[in-house]
C-alpha cells in the first residue's frame, strides 16, 4: 500500500549500492570524500523535509550541524563524557536550539524567514569563533576521539564509511516513511496553502516547528558523525557558505524528493574532486554548473530523471488528464 | 433573536476594520442546526469577511462567535476546524502538489490519530490509521463522483472538478458546520445543478449544517432554508427565501449594486 | 573533428603514463597542500608559486640525488574538509615520501593525526605554535612561532620603556595565535594590556576599535593580522584618527603588498620580520644574504609579483625536506623524518634552522629583525 | 570614553551604513521588478571597486575617468548577466532564481580571481587623505564623499521612479507584472533595466567605498550579506527603507563594537535584527500585507 514496498526495495537497493561502491572503485583514498558526501546527504535529506516538503527556507542549517559537532567534541574531549552520551547530547542540543529558535522564527515568511535563519547561522558561527576557551576558536579543536561503539572502534576509514552509509539509509527510510503519513501530507499541505491546511485542522505553527526541529536533529546526527570521523573541528566548516551550499544541494538535487537531496549532496560534494584538475578555473566551472543546471533542470536532477522516465513510458493517460 | 431555536452558530456584534474601512459593523448572525443558510449581498458587503471571522482566518475587532454554545472567538482556525467548523474558498485553495486522493486524505487529518513515531516506524497503528484514512477518502471521492480521478494530480483536474475536490476535502474532515464561499462561481448550469443536489445531500445524508455565500440566486432560492442579507457590513434582512425576494430593502441594495457595476 | 580527438587520446595516454610511472625509482614525490584559493589564498598562492619555482630549479640542476623531484600540489580551498581529503589522496594514492603545508593552522591540526598514523613526515607552513608544541613525531613547521614574534615585540617595547599597550587582533587562526601569546606573555614581561579588541578578517573599518583604544592610556598598539586581513586598514585608520602612539604589527605583515595598501599610513610602523623583505639591507656577511637575494629575484622575475614571507615558508619547507633526503641519502619517509631532526644550521628564508627531537620548528628569536617603513620601503631598525 | 568617542562611532557607522544602504538599494530595485533576491549584488559592488583599480593601473587615465569606465563596465556586466543567466529562467520558482544568482556570484567572483588575481588592492582617496577634525572627531573627506554621493543617488533614483516613463514602468511591474505587460509595458525590458540600474548603483557604491576599505575579489560576499540584511530591516521592496536600513545596520554594528564587544559585534547586530523581525515581521518600513513568496 502507498508504495511502501517500493520504498523499502529502493532503500535496500540504495544501501547495497553504497556498500559495493568501495569495491567497484577498488582504491580507498577517496573513501573520506565519500563519507563526507554521505554526511552532507544526511543534512540535505533533513533540510529537504523542511524546504522541499514544508516550503520553509533555512539559510542557517550549518549552525545545527556545527552545534552538534562542537557539543559532542567538547563534552567527550574536555569533560571526558562517555562517547555515546556526548553524541546524544550533541544531537539533543541541536534539537533544543532548533526548538527555541524555531518557535519565534517560523512565524516569519519567505525572505524574512531566510534572513532570520541566516542571522541565526551567523550568530552561532561567531559564537564558535569567539568562545576560544570553549571551542578553541578559529584555529580549531583537536584531539577528539574517533567513534567507538560497544568496544568496537571505527578505526579504518572504510568501517566509518559503512557506518555513515547505514545511518544515511536509515535517515532516508525514516524520511520516506514520514512523507507517506498524515504528517507528511500536512507538511506538503503547508507548502501549498497555509490557509487550507489550517482549515483541514492542521496546526501549522506546530508542524513547522516540528519539521524544523527534525531537520536540525538530522543535521545534528551528521554533525556528530562528522566530528568523530575527522577528529578535528574548526568554525570555518560551519559558516554561511556551507549553509548556502546545503540549500544548493537540496535545490539542485530536486526539491520535495528524498532521493533528490541525496543525489544533490553527493553531486555537489564530489563534483569539486573532478573539477580539481582545472585548478583556478574550478570555481568558475562550479558557478557555471549551478547556473546551467538550474536553467535546464528546474526540478533538480531527480526531477529531471523522473521526467526522463515519464517520457520513455508509453503515453496513454496523457490526453485524458489534461484540459 | 429567536432564542428558542437550536442555533449551532451565533455571532454577536461583530466589528472588523481593515485600516480605515469598516468591513463589518456590528453584525449579529445565527445559523440553526441542520439548516442550509445562505448569506447574500452585493460585492463588498462583507460576506467573505464574515466567513473569515467564523472560520478564524480574520480576528474580529469586537464581538463574539459562539459555536455549539462555546465561545470560539479567540480560537485559531485549525482548532475551529478540529471542533467542526470547516470552509471552502471562492478562489479554490486545493493542494496543487498532491494527487486528488491525497488532497482528500489531508482533509481527514484530524480524524486519524497516530504519532510521529508511528509514522516514522510504520507501526500497526500507522497502518490502521492509513487504511481508515484511505477508506474515508475513497468514500468522499465517491460522494462527489471523482473516484475515477483519484490518482490524477490535482492541477490536472478541470475547474469544475477542482471545486468538487475542495468540497470532498472539506466533508472529509467531518465538520458539523460547513461554510461554502461561492461554490458555484465559475461553474456552468449543469454543474451548478449538480452542486445544488450535492449540498442538499451533504446536509441530509451527513447531517452537516451548511452556510453558503452565493451570487447565484437560483441556487440560493432553491436549496436554502434561510437567507441573511448583508449590505455595507450590516445585516439588513434575515428570513426564508420567499420573503427575502419581496423585501424592498434587499431589492434596493441589489439595484444599487447594479448601478455601480 | 578527428584531430582534436587524437590529441585528446594522446593527452590521456600521457596522463596515464605519468601516473603509472609515478612508482618508478627515478622520481622522488613530495606532496603539498596549500590554500591556493579561499580566504587564505594570499598565503597559499605564494607558497604554491614557490613550490613550483623550486621544483623547476631543482630539476634543472639534476634533481635530488640524481632523481627527478616531483611536487604534487593540492589546493585545500582554505577548508578543513578539503585539506583532509587532499591528505588522504597524497598518502594513499600518490604515495608521497613527505608533505609540505598546509598553509593554515586549523588545516594542519586537522590532518596531523593522519601523518602520525601513516608515518610520513609533514612540514607545515602555518604559524600556530600548537602544531609543534607538544612535539609530534612526524610533524614539523617552518614559520617562526607567534611566541618568538611576540617576545621580540615585547623586548622592543621594554627597551623603549613602554608598559601599557592595547592589542587589536584579527579573529582568524593567525590573529588568535598572536592574541593568546600577547595575553600570556605581556604580563610576564611587566606590560599591561589596556584593551583587547578584535575584528573579523573581512572587516573594512577598524575606526571604532581604535577609538576605544585611544580612550585608554595605551602607549603602544600591537596589532596581529596580515596585509589582506585588516592590518593595512588598522594602519590607515590609526593615521586617520591622528593617533601618535607607535603601532606594532605581526611578522605576517612583512610583504611589499602592505606598503602598497597602507600607503603613507604605513610610515613608521614597527614589526618583527624575517630577513626576506629586507634582503637588500641584510649585511653581506649574514649567511642568509645570498639565498634571500636569489629567491627574491627568481620569484619576482617568474611570477611578476612581490615576494611575501609566506612564499618563504614554503621555500624553507621544501628545501628542508630536500636537505633531509640528501643528508640521509634516502627518500624513505622514516629516514626523511629522522634526518629532519638532525638538521642543524640550515639557512632558510625565515632564519637558521636547528632541529632536534624536542624542537620541530628550529628557529629562535634571532630569526627576526625589527623593521619599519621609511619612505615607502622596509628598513631594519638598528 | 567621552562623547567624542560616541560621535566617532556614529560617523564610522554612517559611512559603512551608506554602503550597506546602496547595496540594499540594488537588491530592492531588482526585487521589485522581478521578485528575485539577487545574491550577486555584492559582486557588482566588488566589480565597481576592483575594476577602478585596474583601469587606473592599465590605462593610466587618471582616477575619475577610470572610475567612470569601471561603473560603465559593471553596468554592462549587469546587463549581460540578466540576458544570459536570469532571462532563461524566467518564471522559475523563487528558490531556483536564488540558486541561479548564487551561481552567477560564484562565476563572477571566479572570473575576477582568475583575471585580476587573489590579492587585495587600494584606490586613492578622491580628495586628500588627511582627516578633518571637528571637536575631537576625525572625519575623512572620503566619508563626506560617500554620504554626499549616496544622497545624490537616492534623489536621482527618486526622480527616476516618479518622473520618468521607464521609472514608472518599473514601479508598475513591481505592483503587478501581468497587468503591466497587458498595458503594454515590456516586462523583459524592465527587468533588464532593473539589472542595469542596480549594477550601476552597486558599482558606484564599490567605487566610493574602496578608497576607505581596500578591495579584493571576495569582498562581495560580506557586502552582499550586509546589503541583504539592510533591505530586510528596511522592509523588502521599499527602496528608501532599504537605504535607511543600511545606515541603521552600520550604526548598530559600530555601536556594538564600540560599546559592547568588538568580537561579538556582528553577532549583536544580527541579534538585534532577529529581535526586530520577531517584533515587526515585515521590516521597519515594509507593508505587512504584501506577500510575494
* Model confidence pLDDT, tens digit, residues C52-111: 999 999 999 988 988 999 999 999 989 999 999 899 999 988 999 999 989 999 999 999
| Partner C contacted by A192 (CB < 8 A) | no
- The rounded distance, in Å, linking the Cα atoms of D107 and D101 is 10
Sheet holding B209-213: strands in order across?
B85-87, B177-181, B209-213, B36-40, B226-231, B234-239
> Could D106 and A286 be called an inter-chain contact, meaning their C-beta atoms sit closer than 8 Å?
yes
Work out the number of other CB atoms within 10 angstroms of the CB of residue B151.
11
Q: Which residues contact B142 (CB under 8 A, 6 or more apart)?
A: none
| Consecutive H or E run containing C373 | strand C369-374
Gap between the Cα atoms of D245 and D283, Å rounded? 9
Which pLDDT value is given to residue C22?
A: 45
Cβ–Cβ gap D262/C232 under 8 Å: no
pLDDT score at A30 = 84
The answer to whether C176 contacts A140, with C-beta atoms less than 8 Å apart, is: no
What's the burial of A281, exposed, middle or buried (CB within 10 Å: 0-12/13-18/19+)? middle
Taking phi over 0 as left and psi of -120 to 50 as alpha, with beta for the rest, A27 belongs to: beta
CB contact under 8 A, A230 and C84: yes
Cα dihedral across residues D8, D13, D16, D18: positive or negative: negative
By C-alpha distance, which of D119, A239, D113, A235 is closest to C310? D119
Nearest CA-CA partner of A255 in A45, A105, A113, A98: A45
- Rounded to the nearest angstrom, the gap between the alpha carbon of residue C66 and the centroid of all alpha carbons in its chain is 29
Round to whole Å and give the CA distance between B53 and B56: 5
Q: Is B13 helix (H, G, I), strand (E, B) or coil?
A: strand
Measured CA distances, D21 to B164, D200, D235 (Å): 50, 14, 12
Most confident of C303-312, D165-174, D245-254: D245-254
Question: Which pLDDT score is estimated for B260?
Answer: 42
> pLDDT tens digits, residue range D79-121?
999 999 988 887 778 788 888 999 999 999 999 998 998 888 9
Of D122, D261, D262, which is closest to C261 when you measure between CB atoms? Answer: D122
Closest CA to C101 of C123, C70, C133: C123
Task: Provide the shortest C-alpha distance from residue B254 to chain A (in Å).
Answer: 31
- CA C132 to chain D, closest CA, distance in angstroms equals 28
Chosen for mutation from D120, D215, D221, D268 (greatest number of chain C CBs closer than 10 Å) is D120
**Tens of pLDDT, residues B33-59:** 999 999 998 888 889 999 999 999 999
CA distance A178 to A180: 5
Interchain contact, B134 vs A1, CB within 8 Å = yes
C-alpha cell at D220: 562581495
Flag if A322 and B95 touch (Cβ within 8 Å).
Answer: no
- Touching chains, C (3+ CB pairs < 8 A): A, D
**Which residue's C-alpha cell is 567605487?**
D207
Q: Chain D residue closest to C233 (CA)?
A: D213
Mean predicted lDDT score pLDDT of chain A:
89
Q: Which of A123, A288, A298 sits opposite D270 (nearest CB)?
A: A123
Q: What percent of chain C has pLDDT over 90?
A: 64
Q: What are C's interface residues with A at a Cβ cutoff of 8 A? A: 36-37, 74-75, 77-82, 84-85, 88-89, 91-93, 105-106, 109-110, 112-113, 128, 130, 171-173, 175-177, 180, 198
| SS3 at position C380 | strand
Q: Taking CA atoms, what residue in A is nearest to C91?
A: A29
Strand ranges (E), D140-255 = none
The interface predicted TM-score (ipTM) is 0.90
Range A2-322: architecture per CATH: Orthogonal Bundle (1.10)
C-alpha cell at C221: 598598539
A129 to chain C nearest CA, in Å? 7
Cell of D75: 553596468
- Topology of domain D3-279 in CATH is ABC transporter involved in vitamin B12 uptake, BtuC (1.10.3470)
First to last CA, chain D: 46
pLDDT at C9: 52
With cell 549500492, the residue in question is A17
The chain D residue lying nearest A58, using CA atoms, is: D95
Locate D285 and state its grid cell. 518600513
The candidate with the shortest Cα–Cα distance to C167, out of C205, C201, C194, is: C194
Number of residue pairs across A and D with CB atoms under 8 Å?
132
**Whether A237 and C81 lie within 8 Å, measured CB to CB:** yes
Query: What percent of chain B shows pLDDT beyond 90?
Result: 70
Q: Is D282 on the interface with A (CB under 8 A)?
A: yes
For the entire predicted model, the pTM comes to: 0.92
CB D224 within 8 A of CB D198: no
| C109 to A237: CB separation less than 8 angstroms, yes or no | no
Flag whether pLDDT at C170 surpasses 50.
Answer: yes
Which residues of C are less than 8 Å from D15 in CB distance? 205
Cα B16 from chain centroid? 20
CATH among 3.30.450.20, 1.10.10.10, 3.90.580.10, 3.40.50.300 for B1-84+175-191+204-261 = 3.40.50.300
Yes or no: say if D225 and D38 are a contact pair by the CB < 8 Å rule. no
pLDDT of residue C52: 95
Q: What are phi and psi of B20, to 5 degrees?
A: -90, -10
- What number is the average pLDDT over the span D179-187? 77
The pLDDT assigned to D182 comes to 75
Put simply, the answer to whether A287 touches D99 (Cβ < 8 Å) is no
Reported as type and span, the H/E element at residue C220 is strand C220-224
Candidates A191, A258, A233, A321; CA nearest to A10 is A258
Grid cell, residue A19, equals 556498500
Of D118, D212, D258, the CB nearest to C45: D118
Q: How many Å apart are CA D143 and CA D146, to the nearest integer?
A: 5
pLDDT exceeds cutoff 60 at A35 = yes
Domain-by-domain residue ranges, chain A? 2-322
Chains meeting B at 3+ CB pairs closer than 8 A? A
- The region of weakest confidence among C116-130, C349-363, D129-143 is D129-143
Distance CA C379, CA C372 (A): 5
**Average pLDDT rounded to a whole number, residues C311-325:** 94
- For residue C266, the surrounding DSSP H or E stretch is none
Chain B residues closer than 8 Å to A199 by CB? 55, 77-78, 81, 86-87, 93, 170
**Percentages (nearest 5) of helix, strand, coil residues in chain C:** 50, 20, 30
Percentage of residues of chain A with pLDDT beyond 70: 96
Q: How far apart are the first and last CA of chain A?
A: 30
Burial of C129 (0-12, 13-18, 19+ CB in 10 A): middle
Domains of chain B, residue spans: 1-84+175-191+204-261, 94-174
Nearest by Cα to C65 from C287, C339, C297: C339
Domains and CATH numbers, chain C: 26-144+293-366 (3.40.50.2300), 147-273 (3.40.50.2300)
Q: Which residue of C has its CA nearest to A279?
A: C75
Q: Distance between the two ends of chain B, CA-based, in angstroms?
A: 34
Which of D118, D212, D255 should we substitute to test contact with C (largest number of C Cβ atoms within 10 Å)? D118
Interface contact A295-D110, CB threshold 8 A:
no
- Could you tell me which chain B residue has the CA closest to the CA of A53? B97
Beta-carbon pairs below 8 A across chains C and D: 91
Q: Beta-carbon neighbour count of residue C184 at 10 Å?
A: 11
pLDDT of residue D284: 81
The CA–CA distances, whole Å, from C64 to A40, B246, C53, C68, C353 equal: 43, 111, 15, 6, 20
Give the confidence band of B255 by pLDDT, cuts at 50, 70, 90: low
Alpha-helical regions (H) of A193-299: 194-199, 204-230, 240-253, 258-275, 282-296
Sort strands B177-181 and B85-87 into parallel, antiparallel or unpaired: parallel
Q: How confident is the model at residue A278, as a pLDDT?
A: 78
Nearest to A251 by CA among A297, A320, A312, A197: A297
Say which residue the cell 624513505 belongs to: C332
Instruction: Inspect the interface and report whether the beta carbons of A234 and C80 lie closer than 8 Å.
Output: yes
Please name every residue paired with C67 in a beta bridge, in sequence order, or none if there are none: C64
Q: What is the dihedral of CA B146, B150, B154, B158, to 10 degrees?
A: -40
Average pLDDT, stretch C105-120? 93
Phi, psi of C167 (to 5 degrees): -115, 145
Give the domain ranges of chain D: 3-279
Q: For residue range B175-190, what is the model confidence (pLDDT) as tens digits?
A: 999 999 999 988 999 9
Judge: B78–A184 Cβ closer than 8 Å, yes or no. no
Amino acid at each position: 500500500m502507498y508504495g511502501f514496498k517500493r520504498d523499502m526495495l529502493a532503500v535496500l537497493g540504495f544501501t547495497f549500492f553504497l556498500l559495493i561502491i568501495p569495491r567497484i572503485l577498488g582504491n580507498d583514498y577517496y573513501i573520506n570524500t565519500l563519507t563526507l558526501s554521505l554526511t552532507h546527504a544526511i543534512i540535505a535529506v533533513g533540510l529537504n523535509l523542511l524546504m522541499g516538503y514544508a516550503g520553509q527556507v533555512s539559510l542557517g542549517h550549518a549552525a545545527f550541524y556545527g552545534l552538534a559537532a562542537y557539543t559532542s567534541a567538547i563534552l567527550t574531549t574536555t569533560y571526558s563524557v562517555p562517547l555515546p552520551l556526548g553524541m546524544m547530547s550533541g544531537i539533543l542540543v541541536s534539537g533544543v536550539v532548533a526548538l527555541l529558535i524555531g518557535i519565534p522564527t517560523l512565524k516569519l515568511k519567505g525572505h524574512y524567514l531566510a534572513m532570520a535563519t541566516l542571522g541565526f547561522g551567523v550568530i552561532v558561527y561567531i559564537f564558535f569563533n569567539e568562545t576560544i576557551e570553549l571551542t578553541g576558536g578559529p584555529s580549531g579543536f583537536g584531539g577528539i576521539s574517533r567513534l567507538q561503539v560497544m568496544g568496537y572502534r571505527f578505526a579504518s576509514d572504510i568501517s566509518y564509511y559503512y557506518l555513515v552509509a547505514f545511518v544515511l539509509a536509515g535517515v532516508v527510510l525514516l524520511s520516506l516513511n514520514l512523507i507517506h503519513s498524515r504528517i507528511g501530507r500536512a507538511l506538503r499541505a503547508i507548502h501549498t496553502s497555509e490557509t487550507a491546511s489550517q482549515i483541514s485542522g492542521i496546526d501549522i505553527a506546530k508542524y513547522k516547528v516540528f519539521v524544523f526541529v527534525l531537520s536540525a536533529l538530522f543535521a545534528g546526527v551528521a554533525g556528530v558523525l562528522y566530528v568523530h570521523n575527522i577528529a578535528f573541528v574548526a568554525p570555518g566548516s560551519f559558516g554561511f557558505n556551507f549553509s548556502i551550499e546545503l540549500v544548493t544541494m537540496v535545490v539542485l538535487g530536486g526539491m520535495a524528493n528524498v532521493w533528490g537531496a541525496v543525489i544533490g549532496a553527493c553531486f555537489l560534494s564530489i563534483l569539486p574532486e573532478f573539477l580539481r584538475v582545472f585548478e583556478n578555473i574550478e570555481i568558475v566551472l562550479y558557478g557555471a554548473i549551478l547556473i546551467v543546471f538550474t536553467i535546464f533542470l528546474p526540478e533538480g536532477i531527480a526531477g529531471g530523471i523522473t521526467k526522463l522516465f515519464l517520457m520513455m513510458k508509453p503515453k496513454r493517460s496523457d490526453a485524458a488528464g489534461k484540459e | 433573536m429567536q432564542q428558542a431555536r437550536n442555533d449551532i452558530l451565533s455571532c454577536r456584534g461583530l466589528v472588523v476594520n481593515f485600516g480605515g474601512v469598516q468591513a463589518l459593523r456590528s453584525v449579529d448572525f445565527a445559523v440553526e442546526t441542520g439548516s442550509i443558510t445562505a448569506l447574500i449581498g452585493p460585492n463588498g458587503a462583507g460576506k467573505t469577511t464574515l466567513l473569515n471571522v467564523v472560520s478564524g482566518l480574520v480576528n474580529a475587532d469586537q464581538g463574539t462567535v459562539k459555536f455549539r454554545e462555546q465561545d470560539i472567538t479567540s480560537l485559531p482556525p485549525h482548532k475551529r476546524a478540529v471542533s467542526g467548523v470547516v470552509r471552502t474558498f471562492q478562489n479554490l485553495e486545493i493542494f496543487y502538489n498532491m494527487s486528488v486522493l491525497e488532497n482528500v486524505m489531508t482533509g481527514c487529518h484530524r480524524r486519524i490519530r497516530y504519532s510521529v513515531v508511528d509514522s516514522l516506524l510504520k507501526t500497526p497503528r500507522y497502518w490502521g490509521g492509513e487504511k481508515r484514512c484511505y477508506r474515508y477518502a475513497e468514500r468522499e471521492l465517491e460522494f462527489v463522483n471523482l473516484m475515477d480521478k483519484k490518482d490524477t494530480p490535482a492541477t490536472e483536474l478541470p475547474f469544475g472538478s477542482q471545486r468538487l475536490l475542495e468540497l470532498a476535502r472539506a466533508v472529509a474532515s467531518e465538520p458539523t458546520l460547513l461554510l461554502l464561499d461561492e461554490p458555484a462561481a465559475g461553474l456552468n448550469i449543469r454543474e451548478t445543478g449538480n452542486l445544488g443536489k450535492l449540498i442538499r445531500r451533504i446536509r441530509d445524508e451527513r447531517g452537516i449544517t451548511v452556510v453558503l455565500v452565493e451570487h447565484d440566486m437560483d441556487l440560493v432560492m432553491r436549496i436554502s432554508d434561510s437567507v441573511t442579507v448583508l449590505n455595507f457590513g450590516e445585516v439588513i434582512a434575515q428570513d426564508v427565501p420567499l420573503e427575502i425576494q419581496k423585501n424592498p430593502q434587499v431589492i434596493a441594495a441589489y439595484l444599487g449594486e447594479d448601478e455601480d457595476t | 573533428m578527428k584531430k582534436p580527438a587524437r590529441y585528446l587520446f594522446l593527452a590521456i595516454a600521457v596522463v596515464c603514463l605519468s601516473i603509472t610511472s609515478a612508482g618508478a625509482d627515478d622520481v622522488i614525490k613530495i606532496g603539498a597542500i596549500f590554500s591556493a584559493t579561499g580566504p587564505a589564498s594570499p598565503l597559499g598562492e605564494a607558497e604554491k608559486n614557490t613550490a613550483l619555482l623550486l621544483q623547476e630549479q631543482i630539476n634543472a640542476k639534476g634533481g635530488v640525488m640524481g632523481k627527478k623531484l616531483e611536487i604534487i600540489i593540492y589546493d585545500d580551498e582554505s577548508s578543513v574538509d578539503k585539506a583532509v581529503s587532499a591528505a588522504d589522496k597524497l598518502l594513499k594514492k600518490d604515495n608521497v615520501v613527505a608533505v609540505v603545508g598546509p598553509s593554515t593552522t586549523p588545516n594542519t591540526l586537522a590532518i596531523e593525526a593522519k601523518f602520525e598514523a601513516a608515518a610520513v613526515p609533514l612540514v607545515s607552513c602555518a604559524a600556530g605554535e600548537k602544531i609543534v608544541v607538544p612535539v609530534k613525531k612526524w610533524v614539523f613547521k617552518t614559520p617562526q612561532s607567534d611566541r618568538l614574534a611576540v617576545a621580540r615585540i615585547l623586548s622592543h617595547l621594554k627597551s623603549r620603556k613602554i608598559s601599557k599597550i592595547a592589542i587589536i587582533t584579527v579573529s582568524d587562526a593567525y590573529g588568535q595565535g598572536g592574541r593568546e601569546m600577547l595575553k600570556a606573555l605581556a604580563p610576564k614581561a611587566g606590560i599591561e594590556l589596556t584593551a583587547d579588541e578584535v575584528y573579523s578578517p573581512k572587516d573594512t573599518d577598524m575606526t571604532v576599535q581604535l577609538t576605544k583604544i585611544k580612550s585608554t592610556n595605551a602607549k603602544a598598539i600591537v596589532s596581529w593580522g596580515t596585509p589582506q586581513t585588516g592590518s593595512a586598514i588598522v594602519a590607515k585608520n590609526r593615521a586617520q584618527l591622528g593617533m601618535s602612539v607607535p603601532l606594532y604589527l605581526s611578522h605576517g605583515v612583512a610583504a611589499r603588498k602592505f606598503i602598497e595598501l597602507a600607503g603613507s599610513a604605513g610610515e613608521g610602523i614597527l614589526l618583527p620580520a624575517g630577513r626576506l623583505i629586507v634582503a637588500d639591507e641584510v649585511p653581506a656577511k649574514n649567511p642568509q644574504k645570498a639565498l634571500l637575494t636569489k629567491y627574491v629575484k627568481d620569484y619576482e622575475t617568474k611570477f611578476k609579483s612581490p615576494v611575501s614571507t609566506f612564499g618563504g615558508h614554503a621555500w624553507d619547507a621544501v628545501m628542508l625536506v630536500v636537505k633531509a633526503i640528501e643528508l640521509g641519502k634516502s627518500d624513505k619517509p622514516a629516514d626523511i623524518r629522522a634526518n629532519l631532526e638532525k638538521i642543524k644550521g640550515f639557512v632558510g628564508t625565515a632564519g637558521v634552522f636547528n632541529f632536534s627531537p624536542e624542537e620541530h620548528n628550529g628557529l629562535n628569536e634571532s630569526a627576526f629583525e625589527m623593521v619599519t617603513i621609511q619612505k615607502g620601503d622596509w628598513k631594519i631598525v638598528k | 570614553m567621552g562623547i567624542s568617542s560616541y560621535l566617532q562611532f556614529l560617523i564610522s557607522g554612517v559611512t559603512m551604513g551608506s554602503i550597506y544602504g546602496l547595496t540594499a538599494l540594488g537588491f530592492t530595485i531588482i526585487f521589485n521588478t522581478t521578485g528575485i533576491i539577487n545574491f550577486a549584488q555584492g559582486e557588482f559592488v566588488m566589480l565597481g571597486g576592483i575594476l577602478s583599480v585596474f583601469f587606473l593601473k592599465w590605462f593610466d587615465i587618471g582616477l575619475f575617468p577610470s572610475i567612470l569606465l569601471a561603473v560603465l563596465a559593471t553596468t554592462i556586466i549587469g546587463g549581460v548577466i540578466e540576458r544570459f543567466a536570469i532571462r532563461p529562467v524566467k518564471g522559475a520558482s523563487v528558490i531556483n532564481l536564488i540558486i541561479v544568482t548564487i551561481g552567477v556570484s560564484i562565476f563572477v567572483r571566479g572570473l575576477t580571481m582568475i583575471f585580476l588575481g587573489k590579492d587585495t588592492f587600494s584606490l586613492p582617496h578622491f580628495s586628500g587623505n588627511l582627516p578633518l577634525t571637528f571637536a575631537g572627531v576625525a572625519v575623512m573627506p572620503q566619508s563626506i564623499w560617500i554620504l554626499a554621493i549616496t544622497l545624490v543617488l537616492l534623489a536621482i533614483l527618486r526622480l527616476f521612479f516618479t518622473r520618468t516613463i521607464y521609472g514608472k514602468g518599473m514601479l508598475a511591474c513591481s505592483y503587478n507584472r501581468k497587468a503591466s505587460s497587458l498595458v503594454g509595458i515590456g516586462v523583459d525590458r524592465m527587468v533588464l533595466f532593473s539589472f542595469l540600474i542596480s549594477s550601476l548603483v552597486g558599482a558606484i557604491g564599490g567605487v566610493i567605498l574602496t578608497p576607505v576599505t581596500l578591495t579584493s575579489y571576495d569582498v562581495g560576499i560580506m557586502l552582499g550579506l550586509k546589503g541583504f540584511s539592510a533591505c530586510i530591516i528596511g522592509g523588502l521592496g521599499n527602496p528608501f527603507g532599504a537605504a535607511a536600513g543600511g545606515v541603521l545596520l552600520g550604526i548598530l554594528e559600530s555601536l556594538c563594537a564600540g560599546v559592547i564587544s568588538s568580537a561579538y559585534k556582528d553577532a549583536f547586530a544580527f541579534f538585534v535584527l532577529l529581535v526586530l523581525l520577531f517584533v515587526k515581521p515585515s521590516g521597519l518600513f515594509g507593508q505587512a500585507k504584501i506577500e510575494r513568496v
